[in-house]
Structure 1
Amino acid sequence: MRLAKVVLDALTTRGRSFIAAGFTAVACAFLLGEQELLRAGLLVLVLPLFSVFAVSRTRYRLACARRLGPSRLPVGHEARADVRLENVSRLPSGLLLVEDRVPYTLGGRARFVLDRIEPLGSRELSYRLRSDVRGRFKVGPLTVRLADPFGLVELARAFSLTDTLTVTPLTVELPPGSIPGAWHGEGQSLARTLSTAGEDDVTPREYRRGDDLRRVHWRSTARYGELMVRREEQEWQSRAILLLDTRRAAHTGEGPGSSFEQAVSVAASVGIHLAREGLPLRFVTDAGRSADLSAGSGSASGDELLDVLAVIGQSDDTALLPGLAAVRGSGRDGEALIVGIFGRLTAEEARSVAAARRGTAIGVAVLLGRDQRTDGDAAGFLRGAGWRVLALSSVAELPAAWAGVQGVPGAQ
C-alpha cells in the first residue's frame, strides 16, 4: 500500500492517464481476445512505472544558495532574488522543474524549467519581488522536481533554506534641521569642569584610546589598578519619544490609503528624520509597548524603527492611557521632544495627551483623518496646552507642515 501511494504521488496527470489507458486496454484485450491490444496496453501501463523507478534511482546531488537584494525595501519598490543551483555530483541531471516559494503578496511563486545541469555545473536564476503592503515575508524554500523526458513522473526534493524580505512603510523626506526650542546635544548640560569642581569631585572613567594623557587621574589609577582619566563633563543627551496611536477605533479607511497606514508612514518619516538629526529614539504605542532605539545612532536607529513599523498592526484597545503613561515615564522634565501621531481624538483624550508633555519639553501632535480639519476641538485644546499641532490627510502633506513647525520661511 505504501509503495502504491508513493507511485501515485509521483505520477503527473499525464502519467495517471497512461495508467488508466493501460488498464483499459488490457481489460478490453481480454474481453475481445485481441493479443495486439494486450501488448499495447501492457506497454502503456509499464512505461509510467518504469519512469517512476528510473527517476527515483537518480543519485545526483544538488546545492542551493539564494540572495535577496536588498533584503529591506520600502513599499512599492522592487527587490531581486538571485538563486544559484549547483549539481555537486559527477552525474548530469535530468529535466528539473525549479520552484521557489514566494508569498502571494510578493508576486506568487517563481518557476523555472532546466533541461539539465552538467556534472559539477551550476545555473543562475533570478526573479523580481514587489509588495504594495508592508510586512516581513519569508521567501523559500526552493523545491526541485525531477521529471522524466516523457513528463509522466515528478519527484520533489525540497531545500530548507529560506530568506526574509522586510517591506518597510512609505516615507517622505523632511526638511533638514531641528525644531526651535527642542534642546538636544551632548555635553551641553550638567557640565562639570575642573574649573568649578575640585580634584576630589571629578568622576573618573576608564581610559579610552585617543584620550589625552594629560587627563589621567593618578589617584583613581592607583586605586583601581588600571589607567583612569578625568570625566571633565557628564555626557547628557536628550531624546525623542515617538508615540503612535494604533487603536482600530481611532482610524478610518482600509488598505494603503487608510489613516492608520498614513500614520505609520508619518511615524517612519519623523523617526528617520530625528535619527539623522542625532536624537536617540524611544518608540511607544498606545498600548504602552515601547522599544528603546537609542542603542543605535543615525541610520542604524532609523533602520531599527523601520523594522518595528514594518510589522506593526492595529490594536483593539480603546484607551491611550497606557501609552501616555509610558511617555511620562520615559524621561525627566525638559529632556525629550515628544511627537505623537494620532487618529481621532476626543476632547477627553486630548486632555490626557496634553498632560503627557511636562516642563519645557516640546510636544508635536500629528492628527490623521479627514474629520480632523472640521472637528477642531482636540486640535484647539492641544494648541492651547502648548502643543504644536499638524492636521494632515496623508503623509504627502507632512514635509510642508513639518517645515512650518521648524519655522522655515515660506512654509505653510
Structure 2
Amino acid sequence: MRRAILSPDRPVVTLLRPLALLSVGVLGVLALVTTSAIVYWFFYVTAALVVLTWYWVSRSVTNLRMARSLVTKAAFAGDEVAEEFQLTNLGRLPVLMVELEDQSNFPGYSASIAENLDARQTKVWQSSGKALRRGIFTMGPMVVRTGDPFGIFAAEFNFPRVTSFVVYPRIALMPELTVPAGHQFGSSRSSSRTQQITSDAAGIRDFAPGDPMKRIHWLSTARRGQITVKEFDLEPAASVWIALDLNRAVLAGRGADTTEELAVIVATAVAYQQIRAGRAVGLAARGDQRVVLEPQKGPQQLWRILEHLAVLRAHGREVFPLTLSELGQGLAPGVSIVAISSDGDPEWISALGQLTRRRINCTAVHIDAHSFGGPATAADLVSLAALSGIGIRTLRAGQEFASIRPDFEPPPGVPATMVAGG
C-alpha cells in the first residue's frame, strides 16, 4: 500500500480565556500588597493551573499521531467509499478531547469526529459515505484541535497534504447497442508498419540501432545467426472510436439528470462492451478539456477511458460536426465510430454520412434534449441517418440501465494512506 507522510503545519497554542492570565497578575499584585497567606495561596494555585494546562496542551499536541487510508480500492458513482483512521497518543498524559475536522471536497462526505484518548492509547475506526457523482476528489486536508479540560488553552494544527481519489462513472449495460465489426478493406495486412508493439505481428527484419531489446525474435536470431527483430502492423480496422459531444450549447437538464451524464454513461457502456469483445477502443471529446485517447486493447485501456470520463464536463464550445470531421481525417476504412450527442441539429448526422462514404462504420446515439427540458429536435434524425446507412438509437430522460462492475483489476496506486504526526 502506498503511504504518503504528512508533515503538519507548526502547532499553534491559543489562549482561550485571557481572564486566567489576568487573574494571575491581579492576584500576584494583591499578594505583594496585602502579604495575605490566603491571597498568596490563590495566586500559587491559579498560576500553577495556567502553567500546567499550557504544558498539558503543548505535550498533547506533540504526542498525537494520525493515519488515514482508503479502504475502497475503486469506486463508481453510487458506491460507498470507506476510509480507515488511526489516532494514537504516544504520551503519558491522557488527551481528553481531540477534534478532527475533515476538509475533503468529497460531496456528501465528512470524516469529522471528536475523540478522547487515554495515555499510550490507539483508536481505529472507519468512516464511509456515498459517492454521489463522478469526478476526482481530494481526501483531506485535516485540521486537528485539542485543549485542556478547563478550556484555558487550545492547540490547532493543519495537515495540508491531500490524496486524490477517482470516482468513476458507472458502467451501464446496453446489449441492444451494437457496433458494426470493423474489417480491413483490400489486403488482410495493413500497408503501414510500426515500431509500436500491437497484437498483429507482420514479420521480421534485421536489427537496427535504436530497436528495443523486447522486440528481438530470439528463435529467428538463433536460426539465422544474426539479431532479428519483429515488425508489427497497425490495427486501424479493429479500432472503435467513441466520439462524445460536450458542447455546452446542447446541454440540457439539472443536477445529475442531464444529457451530459447520460452521454457519459453511454460512453462507458460502449467502451466496456467493445474492450470485452477484444477490440481496440479510443476516445475523442472536447469539453472543458480536449481528449484524444488513441485506441488500444485490454483492461488498462478501459480504466484510462473511465478516468477521462470521470472528469470531463460539458463546457466545450466546439460544434460536434467539426469534432467528427477532424477525427475522421486520419482514419482508415473499416474503423468504427460511435458518435454520442444531444444536438438536435442534423449537421452532425450529415458529418457522419460523409464518413460512411469513406467506408467508416458509423453508429449514432442521440440523446433527446427535449426530454430533459431542452429544445425540441429540429429534424427527423432517424430518417436522415437511415438514408446515410447509419445505425441510430435515441435515448430519453428517465431511462434506466443495469450497471456492472468490471472484472478487471483497478490501476495500481490506489488506495493511498496518509500518516500524520504532531
Q: Distance in 2 between matches of 1:161 and 1:266?
A: 35
Shift of 1:387: 1.2
- Residues 7 and 166 from structure 1, CA distance in 2 versus in 1: closer, same or farther, beyond 3 angstroms? closer
Q: Distance in 2 between matches of 1:235 and 1:316?
A: 31
Q: Give CA-to-partner distance per residue, 1:98-146, whole Å, 9 cap, x none.
A: 333322613234213122350xx53212100223122111111333323
Q: Is the 8 A contact 1:80 1:127 kept in 2?
A: yes
Shift of 1:376: 4.5
Q: Is the 8 A contact 2:352 2:362 kept in 1?
A: no
Amino acid at match of 1:337: S
Which residue in 2 is equivalent to 1:198?
Answer: none
Q: Distance in 1 between matches of 2:189 and 2:216?
A: 24
Which residue in 1 is equivalent to 2:140?
Answer: 140
Secondary structure at the counterpart of residue 105 of structure 1:
coil
Secondary structure at the counterpart of residue 324 of structure 1:
helix
Shift of 1:328: 0.9
Q: Which runs of 5+ in 2 are unaligned?
A: 1-9, 192-201, 208-212, 403-422
RMSD over aligned Cα, in angstroms?
4.2
Which residue in 1 is equivalent to 2:282?
Answer: 282
Q: Distance in 2 between matches of 1:397 and 1:217?
A: 59
Which residue in 2 is equivalent to 1:78?
Answer: 80
Q: Does 1:273 align with 2:273?
A: yes
Higher strand share: 2
Q: Percent identity?
A: 20
Which residue in 1 is equivalent to 2:366?
Answer: 367
Q: Give CA-to-partner distance per residue, 1:312-370, whole Å, 9 cap, x none.
A: 11224152244123321342122x21011101231334323432445332211111125
Q: 10, 17, 22: which is aligned to 2:14?
A: 10
- Residues 169 and 114 from structure 1, CA distance in 2 versus in 1: closer, same or farther, beyond 3 angstroms? same
Amino acid at match of 1:258: T
Q: Distance in 2 between matches of 1:170 and 1:271?
A: 12
Which residue in 2 is equivalent to 1:292?
Answer: 293
Secondary structure at the counterpart of residue 106 of structure 1:
coil
Which residue in 1 is equivalent to 2:122?
Answer: 122
Q: Give CA-to-partner distance per residue, 1:179-198, whole Å, 9 cap, x none.
A: 4x41269xx93189xxxxxx
Shift of 1:22: 5.6
Q: Is the 8 A contact 1:293 1:304 kept in 2?
A: no
Amino acid at match of 1:134: R
- Residues 139 and 382 from structure 1, CA distance in 2 versus in 1: closer, same or farther, beyond 3 angstroms? same
- Residues 54 and 9 from structure 1, CA distance in 2 versus in 1: closer, same or farther, beyond 3 angstroms? closer
* TM-score for the superposition, normalised by structure 2: 0.71
Q: Give CA-to-partner distance per residue, 1:158-186, whole Å, 9 cap, x none.
A: 3354222212223312339964x41269x
Q: Is the 8 A contact 1:249 1:318 kept in 2?
A: no
Which residue in 1 is equivalent to 2:388?
Answer: 385
Which residue in 2 is equivalent to 1:67?
Answer: 69
Which residue in 1 is equivalent to 2:168?
Answer: 168
Shift of 1:390: 0.6
Q: Is the 8 A contact 1:184 1:239 kept in 2?
A: no
Q: Give CA-to-partner distance per residue, 1:10-59, whole Å, 9 cap, x none.
A: 245xx46x659969x98xx9xxx9x9999979977985575235422557
- Residues 21 and 331 from structure 1, CA distance in 2 versus in 1: closer, same or farther, beyond 3 angstroms? same
User: Aligned runs of 1:396-407 on 2, under 5 Å?
Assistant: 396=399
- Residues 324 and 155 from structure 1, CA distance in 2 versus in 1: closer, same or farther, beyond 3 angstroms? same
Q: Does 1:244 align with 2:248?
A: no
Which residue in 1 is equivalent to 2:314?
Answer: 314
Q: Distance in 1 between matches of 2:394 and 2:116?
A: 56
Q: Is the 8 A contact 2:58 2:155 kept in 1?
A: yes
Which residue in 2 is equivalent to 1:112?
Answer: 114
* TM-score for the superposition, normalised by structure 1: 0.72
- Residues 365 and 228 from structure 1, CA distance in 2 versus in 1: closer, same or farther, beyond 3 angstroms? closer
Q: Is the 8 A contact 1:110 1:127 kept in 2?
A: no
Q: Distance in 2 between matches of 1:48 and 1:90?
A: 20
Shift of 1:9: 6.7
Q: Is the 8 A contact 1:392 1:398 kept in 2?
A: no
Which residue in 2 is equivalent to 1:409?
Answer: none
Q: Distance in 2 between matches of 1:311 and 1:83?
A: 27
- Residues 286 and 47 from structure 1, CA distance in 2 versus in 1: closer, same or farther, beyond 3 angstroms? same
- Residues 11 and 112 from structure 1, CA distance in 2 versus in 1: closer, same or farther, beyond 3 angstroms? same
Q: Is the 8 A contact 2:345 2:377 kept in 1?
A: no
Q: Which runs of 5+ in 1 are unaligned?
A: 1-5, 193-200, 400-412
Q: Distance in 2 between matches of 1:253 and 1:212?
A: 59
- Residues 93 and 216 from structure 1, CA distance in 2 versus in 1: closer, same or farther, beyond 3 angstroms? same
